[in-house]
Structure 1
Amino acid sequence: MLKLVRCLCIAAISLATLATSPAFAAGRTDFKVCWTIYAGWMPWGQAKTQGIVSKWAKKYGIHVDVVQLNDYVESINQYTAGKFDGCAMTNMDALTIPASGGVDSTALIVSDYSNGNDGVLIKGNGKRIVDLKGQQVNLVQFSVSHYLLARALESAHMSERDLKVVNTSDADISGAFATPAVQNAVTWNPMLADLKAHPNVTEVFDSSKIPGEIMDMMVVNTKTLQENPALGKALTGAWFEMVALMHGNSAASTDALTAMAKASGTDLANFKGQLATTALFYSPQAALDFVTNPDMPKIMARVAKFSFDHGLLGQDAKSADAVGMAFDKGVVIGNRNNVKLRFDPSYVAMAAAGKL
């Protein structure tokens, strides 16, 4: 029922706002993007704090407000409803919420992929995936945590029929796992790092086992981007300046990392540990190489199948091809007449060529 309610709400909100929201007007100079706490997205907050975003926005004659929200799914819903021009989200959530809700969206920057930043946890030492059989597992239902669980079960020749998923928001997952009633959880950093630190907890599977499948992206409204390319240039320039600073060896780099650690509720050592399990693309060329890799459509086809199997592509979806997705060199998978998610490398290509 939760799935149906979520899908219906998204569709209704999207249709009602597409034509009326100022977030989709052309010729604007003021924009808003949002993000939530996660190791791979902390640079957005720091880029705002350090004035990097405002510097790049000024270069292109616009103003961009970067807003932190507390609930991840709610941030995507607000983007879908037209309250924001862009939002930091994963590849699967971009497909199942805005794209399947009818909002044509562009992955402006694929900033990294989870390389251990998402994990499946069981209380007790020496546990294995098979120990989830007959158990309840707490996670954010229909999110990448759910996808990770499905992939973990596949690796053990199991399926979701072997257990029960309990929907738990990212804001509540840590508190839930601290109670005796919750024995198993799937989550992402920084919550994952905190929960793994508890005594007698085993991580039985993590995203490093499926490299490249859980991507983190800055997603923007396609129409807004097409009518206001300055937004794409400003966001892309600001992002790569920020991550270049993070990757340096200067005192300024340490200060920036320390500030991000504090903002995410941890210390520098822990935050660096989270970054170690984030395959962050520190250069535009690295990000470009990833997003133009011929395997991208294959990965997204797998994600689309999971999404369709869980009813996340909308009530009218007849197959995993219901929503079209566009990639580099004109490659399209799914419904060519309903392309709603685009992996457009053009702005990152500009950054790689030094043309921003």
Structure 2
Amino acid sequence: MFKLVRCLGIAAVSLATFASSPTFAAGRNDFKVCWTIYAGWMPWGEAKTQGIVSKWAKKYGINVDVVQLNDYVESINQYTAGKFDGCAMTNMDALTIPASGGVDSTALIVSDYSNGNDGVLMKGKGKQIADLKGQQVNLVQFSVSHYLLARALESAHMSERDLKVVNTSDADISGAFATPTVHNAVTWNPMLADLKSQPNVSEVFDSSKIPGEIMDMMVVNTKTLQQNPALGKALTGAWFEMIALMHTDSAASTSALTAMAKASGTDLANFKGQLSTTALFYSPQAALDFVTSPDMPKIMTRVAKFSFDHGLLGQDAKSADAVGMAFDKGVVVGNRNNVKLRFDPSYVAMAAAGKL
């Protein structure tokens, strides 16, 4: 199976809201992080399989268990509830679930962004976003697909008031699009690739038009990271060793990619296709340049506005600034007295400088 839902479910938001912030003792030796199936996160599973994670954990005198879960939203819920020290999730989900739920979280590694992995599809005569006016659009509500649609509509000087969103689960989106009554859909790979290859289907907008806005990250509990910097060093070192291996032209790279493809339920060619629309940062410096860009606060401000407009920052949120977000060079957007999401580049900077 592929990544199940890149979603901001209402149930998940509710759980996060009522979850207590976990407390962790300093000086721990054992840690757990979780991930779910998605092209950009498959390296975590392979890094565990190859012993790369355990090698880096041993270097810093700790144990790190990298656990695959089958449900994406549930993985974030478990992280938010304190069952895991870290979790792979999107930038929007990090804001709307743990951060909005009061769990101070740090984006340890921004590993990639969607660069065509998400798209808007139309059947028949529709060839541009303006053709969606007055129509129904099927998508996973409150997901990155919903966000992508909102951004697509903005590009055409339209809004969601110009159409009707029909909530459709990721498991049902392909089947729905195959019916004669569904003409428009927004989804992500691998469903996107399958649907847009069908006759008489046009992709009228995709995430490459909003580069950097849909990010994939390894998020860790801020208090745990502050008290146990060895965890940040081990995870960062393991990640970039695995990514570097993937990027080499070698038998070892092909073997690793083949294993990741199989683990995600596809073949090597299809998996490489998914990676081609995933802007993975193959070097620590590339990841560092991205996370320290002055565009980061602007992007997350836009994401916060979408989240607030759709009621995803919690019932008590009075504005899109309800949750504070911290960035490089001390930049904070939102409520400075309620900073709950931090884009901390320090560990990636260590990797870029060869100091891990």
Give CA-to-partner distance per residue, 1:189-239, whole Å, 9 cap, x none.
Answer: 222222223333221110110111111111111111111111111110110
Q: 1:340 to 1:21 in 2, by over 3 A?
A: closer
Q: CA deviation at 1:38?
A: 1.5
Q: CA deviation at 1:130?
A: 2.4
**Are 2:12 and 2:97, in contact at CA under 8 Å, matched by a contact in 1?**
no
Deviates more, 1:100-109 or 1:73-82: 73-82
Which residue matches 1:56? 56
Q: CA deviation at 1:258?
A: 1.3
Q: 1:23 to 1:141 in 2, by over 3 A?
A: farther
For the residues of structure 1 that align with 2:172 and 2:50, how far apart are their CA atoms? 30
**Are 2:5 and 2:72, in contact at CA under 8 Å, matched by a contact in 1?**
no
The alignment status of 1:40 with 2:40, answered yes or no, reads yes
For the residues of structure 2 that align with 1:280 and 1:5, how far apart are their CA atoms? 20
**Structure 1 vs Structure 2 CA RMSD:** 3.8
Which residue matches 2:176? 176
Q: CA deviation at 1:48?
A: 1.3
**Are 1:71 and 1:170, in contact at CA under 8 Å, matched by a contact in 2?**
no
Q: 1:180 to 1:30 in 2, by over 3 A?
A: farther
For the residues of structure 2 that align with 1:78 and 1:136, how far apart are their CA atoms? 34
For the residues of structure 2 that align with 1:325 and 1:3, how far apart are their CA atoms? 26
Q: Secondary structure at the match of 1:4?
A: coil
For the residues of structure 2 that align with 1:6 and 1:285, how far apart are their CA atoms? 27
Q: 1:4 to 1:202 in 2, by over 3 A?
A: closer
Q: 1:4 to 1:59 in 2, by over 3 A?
A: closer
Q: 1:75 to 1:19 in 2, by over 3 A?
A: closer
Instruction: Identify unmatched segments of 5+ residues in structure 1.
Output: none
Q: CA deviation at 1:14?
A: 8.9
Q: 1:121 to 1:23 in 2, by over 3 A?
A: farther
Q: CA deviation at 1:318?
A: 1.3
**Are 2:323 and 2:339, in contact at CA under 8 Å, matched by a contact in 1?**
yes
Give CA-to-partner distance per residue, 1:277-322, whole Å, 9 cap, x none.
Answer: 1111000011001111111111111111111111111111111111
Q: CA deviation at 1:114?
A: 1.0
Q: 1:21 to 1:154 in 2, by over 3 A?
A: closer
Q: Secondary structure at the match of 1:95?
A: helix
Moved over 6 A (4+): 1-23
**Are 2:90 and 2:217, in contact at CA under 8 Å, matched by a contact in 1?**
yes
Q: Secondary structure at the match of 1:3?
A: coil
Q: 1:13 to 1:278 in 2, by over 3 A?
A: closer
Q: 1:200 to 1:2 in 2, by over 3 A?
A: closer
**Are 2:29 and 2:61, in contact at CA under 8 Å, matched by a contact in 1?**
yes
Q: CA deviation at 1:20?
A: 7.5
For the residues of structure 1 that align with 2:12 and 2:156, how far apart are their CA atoms? 39
Q: Secondary structure at the match of 1:270?
A: helix
Deviates more, 1:336-345 or 1:13-22: 13-22
Q: 1:171 to 1:27 in 2, by over 3 A?
A: farther
Q: Secondary structure at the match of 1:351?
A: helix
**Are 2:122 and 2:204, in contact at CA under 8 Å, matched by a contact in 1?**
yes
Q: 1:174 to 1:52 in 2, by over 3 A?
A: farther
Q: 1:131 to 1:72 in 2, by over 3 A?
A: farther
For the residues of structure 2 that align with 1:167 and 1:308, how far apart are their CA atoms? 19
Q: CA deviation at 1:76?
A: 1.5
Q: 1:53 to 1:337 in 2, by over 3 A?
A: same
**Are 1:116 and 1:206, in contact at CA under 8 Å, matched by a contact in 2?**
yes
Instruction: Identify unmatched segments of 5+ residues in structure 2.
Output: none
Give CA-to-partner distance per residue, 1:36-56, whole Å, 9 cap, x none.
Answer: 221111111111121111111
Q: CA deviation at 1:169?
A: 3.2
Give CA-to-partner distance per residue, 1:250-278, whole Å, 9 cap, x none.
Answer: 00101111111222222212221211111
Matches within 5 A, 1:135-154: 135-154=135-154
Q: 1:106 to 1:16 in 2, by over 3 A?
A: closer
Q: CA deviation at 1:160?
A: 0.8
Q: CA deviation at 1:18?
A: 9.6
Q: CA deviation at 1:242?
A: 0.6
**Are 2:8 and 2:96, in contact at CA under 8 Å, matched by a contact in 1?**
no
- Percent identical residues: 92
Q: 1:296 to 1:21 in 2, by over 3 A?
A: closer
Deviates more, 1:113-122 or 1:171-180: 171-180
Q: Secondary structure at the match of 2:7?
A: helix
**Are 2:7 and 2:73, in contact at CA under 8 Å, matched by a contact in 1?**
no
Which residue matches 1:247? 247
Q: CA deviation at 1:179?
A: 3.9
Deviates more, 1:247-256 or 1:45-54: 45-54
Q: 1:20 to 1:214 in 2, by over 3 A?
A: closer
Aligned residues: 356
For the residues of structure 2 that align with 1:5 and 1:286, how far apart are their CA atoms? 27
Q: CA deviation at 1:74?
A: 2.1
For the residues of structure 2 that align with 1:181 and 1:82, how far apart are their CA atoms? 43
**Are 1:14 and 1:82, in contact at CA under 8 Å, matched by a contact in 2?**
no
Q: 1:308 to 1:3 in 2, by over 3 A?
A: farther
Q: 1:200 to 1:160 in 2, by over 3 A?
A: same
For the residues of structure 1 that align with 2:8 and 2:51, how far apart are their CA atoms? 39
